Amino acid sequence: MGDALSAPLHGPARVGQLRRYAKDNRRSPTPAEEALWSILRAFPIRFRRQHVVGQYILDFYCHAARLGVEVDGPYHESPETQDYDARRYSLIRWFGIELVRVKNDEVLNDPEGVRKFIDNQLRERLASRPTVPL
């Protein structure tokens, strides 16, 4: 069985494979993902870790705000990875999800700045969502 990206793009087998891969990622987070998870768990709104969206996995996702948060390491600086991330971002936006990125170093060295950044993003997203009268 190959990595999560080697399977066909659609179908139940692909979804199952992505979910298993996400579960594995939750079991072995990077130090920056672990630090960010501690920050996100302190918010009064719920986040999910390693959440499957379409054919991709978001590091963190808040359904109420339709906000994804990605933790980027040096891997994301190469031109090839930036192209892949741009395509990925387009599909995630198609689902109505806004995606924000924070760098590993920011999470590890300025957790309060990252917390404030995400708090602002949540407030903007929640304020812009239409409300339905009861």
Tens digit of each residue's pLDDT (9 = 90 or more) over 1-59: 334 444 445 555 566 666 776 666 667 778 999 999 999 999 999 999 988 887 788 99
Contact 25, 36 (CB under 8 A): no
Q: Any alpha helices (H) in 10-103, and if so which ranges?
A: 12-27, 31-41, 79-94
pTM of the model: 0.77
- In degrees, rounded to 5, the angle at the alpha carbon of residue 122 between the alpha carbons of residues 129 and 106 is 155
Domain-wise residue ranges, the chain: 30-128
- Tell me the mean pLDDT in the region 63-80: 81
Query: Which architecture, in CATH terms, is 30-128?
Result: 3-Layer(aba) Sandwich (3.40)
Q: Torsion angle, CA of 78/56/21/14, rounded to 10 degrees?
A: -130
Give 131's pLDDT tier (boundaries 50, 70, 90).
low
